[in-house]
Amino acid sequence: MISIKNVNKSFGDHHVLTDVSLEIPKSNVVALIGPSGAGKSTLIRTINALEPINTGEIIVDGVSIHDKKTDINVARLNIGFVFQSFNLFPFLTALENVTISPMKVKGLSKEVAEKRGKELLTSLGLGDKFDSYPSRLSGGQQQRVAIARALAMDPQVMLFDEPTSALDPEMVTEVLDAIRKLAKDGMTMVVVTHEMGFAKEICDEIVFMAEGKIVERAAPDKFFSNPDTKRAQDFLSKVLNH
């Protein structure tokens, strides 16, 4: 479903992604973990071309994302993206946040868009928040609206960049539960996360990055019990040992 081939990316002099390659089959869930500055955000953002790349190729559902001939606005319909800081539209209600893109991009009628939007919000436990503005919602609720907003475009792939890092601890569960459900439904997903228990539980594969490179790829059990690389061992010892 997602095929990343020899991607290189730098900000000016600063090489941030070095020759990154990764295949993610349909319905697979991949956790992207690694220390701060490793390039996790940069990599996941190149998948829907929020970040341009220098060399290499990224193919999602058969479409070469960074090809100049690709209409990126069409390609992105297939790729949902959830940000660490939610990035809800603050002047729109929860429901409007979810319906604006189906209406303005896909040209759905208001009725159709709202019907689907309400379904999505309800399924994410926000059945009573249709008309709430983001500022009236807790962080966990905001992030679930953001997930609904991405799902409203019916993407084949969902990308999450630290979806729970900006949340108060007791709200982490509700967001992780939403992602869990998507995994169960067979959504193809890439999740940047620091929630190791969660990664272990729902992912098909752990991809460990450091300094712009993929250092280790492994099944979750293997990775958390017995990582191959010293770099991953160090990282895990720091993160798990509080």
Tell which one of 41, 97, 99, 164 touches Mg ion (CB under 5 A): 41
Nearer to another protein, 14 or 242 (CB): 14
- Cβ-based burial of 225 (10 A; exposed 0-12, middle 13-18, buried ≥19): exposed
Is residue 154 a contact residue for a second copy (CB under 8 A)? no
Residue for token pair 């999450």: 160
CB 180, CB 164: distance < 8 Å:
no
Centroid of chain to Cα 40: 11
How far is Cα 16 from Cα 224, in angstroms, rounded to an integer? 26
The tokens for 73 are 């606005």
Please, what is the minimum distance in Å from the beta carbon of residue 41 to Mg ion? 3
Buried b (16+ CB within 10 A) or exposed e, 121-147: beebebeebbebbbeebebbbbbbbbb
Spatial distance between the Cα atoms of 193 and 86, rounded to a whole number of angstroms: 15
Which of ligand ATP, Mg ion, a second copy, none lies near 11, with the C-beta cut-off 5 to 8 A by kind? ligand ATP
- Of 36 and 241, nearer to another protein (C-beta) is 36
Q: Which is nearer to ligand ATP, 46 or 101 (CB)?
A: 46
101 binds, among Mg ion, a second copy, ligand ATP, none (CB under 5 to 8 A by kind): none
Looking at beta carbons, which residue is closest to ligand ATP? 41
Among residues 29 and 95, whose Cβ is nearest to a second copy? 29
Q: How far is the CB of 188 from a second copy (least distance, A)?
A: 22
Site residues, ligand ATP (CB under 6 A): 11, 14, 16, 34, 36-42, 168
What is the C-alpha to C-alpha distance for residues 66 and 111, in angstroms, rounded to an integer?
35
| 76 scored as a contact of another protein (CB under 8 A) | yes
The first and second tokens of residue 195, run together, are 């929630």
Q: Residue 42 and residue 17: Cα distance in Å, rounded?
A: 8
Contact flag: residue 36 with another protein (CB under 8 A): no
193 binds Mg ion (CB under 5 A): no
What is the binding site for a second copy (CB under 8 A)? 35-36, 138, 168-173, 176, 194-195, 197-198, 235, 238-239, 241-242
